[in-house]
Structure 1
């Protein structure tokens, strides 16, 4: 089974995956990949453009390989804002789409406390893209922050 976990930055997507994925499952998380590809002491949420360029390539390669094994294992993919093309691909793969959204006020507070200010723009884009859609996210916090 493919689980595609979406939501704004700092919403708790990684925490949701940590609570649901089993040790034998595949977890594809751009933040984890970027951290794995950078040196000791790199920030947990590294948004350096050069690091992200390499991490995106590794992520796409991991996705291609993991999607071929969906009959054998579960795959958890964190994808903040999948495009229409990506969403169509996930639906063809019969993915379960999970939206993690504790609310814009909570996300804004978490970004201010833990993330780079650029993430505020990403969160705003995420919420603007969802305007007019019924709220499907998690109303509760994903973990104690």
Structure 2
């Protein structure tokens, strides 16, 4: 007898009521290698990942994807032209979909995503990812934005705090 796979949203069957189907088992066994690194802009997410990632690890970073698709060689760091937004988002989504499908042999994957909403973090957690929140006090965030980023980054920081909702994180790191 076959039973519905207990993984939420999975339409396939499994050999027992509590056993996942083969595809979900494979995907879940690889999901523990995924770390969602989230937090407000300018908190130090990229710096933290750079200290922990190893050669051959996958790093999914929207800022880096904007850089990859931006032809302007004189652009400033963190320049995000609106015309390139759908392309950067599509690239990020394609990479994360492949990653979550579980058809890979990565040592680790690092997803850099601001993720202010608890629901976003919960979705990654449900898929087996570790959640690391990188934070800094408001003065530090504002100073970093003024020194290192385009003018609108102060607004991005305020927007992150307006959208932030409490929710699960496995680890919190405060930078200073």
How far apart are the structure 2 equivalents of 1:70 and 1:13? 26
How far apart are the structure 2 equivalents of 1:2 and 1:131? 22
Name stretches of at least 5 consecutive residues in structure 1 with no aligned partner: none
- The ranges of structure 1 where at least 4 consecutive aligned residues each deviate by more than 6 angstroms after the TM superposition are none
The CA deviation at 1:126 is 2.1
Which of 80, 88, 97 is the equivalent residue of 1:64?
A: 97
How far apart are the structure 1 equivalents of 2:165 and 2:94? 32
Matches within 5 A, 1:53-132: 53-69=86-102, 72-73=105-106, 74-81=108-115, 83-130=117-164
Q: CA RMSD in A?
A: 2.5
Aligned pair count reads 141
Q: Could you say which structure has the larger radius of gyration?
A: 2
Q: Which deviations, in whole Å up to 9, do the C-alpha atoms of 1:45-80 show, x marking residues without a partner?
A: 012111222101111011111222387321100111
Aligned position for 1:4:
36
Aligned position for 2:24:
none
How far apart are the structure 2 equivalents of 1:132 and 1:53? 28
Give the number of the structure whose residues are more often strand, by fraction: 2
TM value normalised by structure 2: 0.70
Instruction: Judge which range, 79-88 or 8-17, deviates more.
Output: 79-88
Name stretches of at least 5 consecutive residues in structure 2 with no aligned partner: 1-32
Instruction: Judge which range, 68-77 or 12-21, deviates more.
Output: 68-77
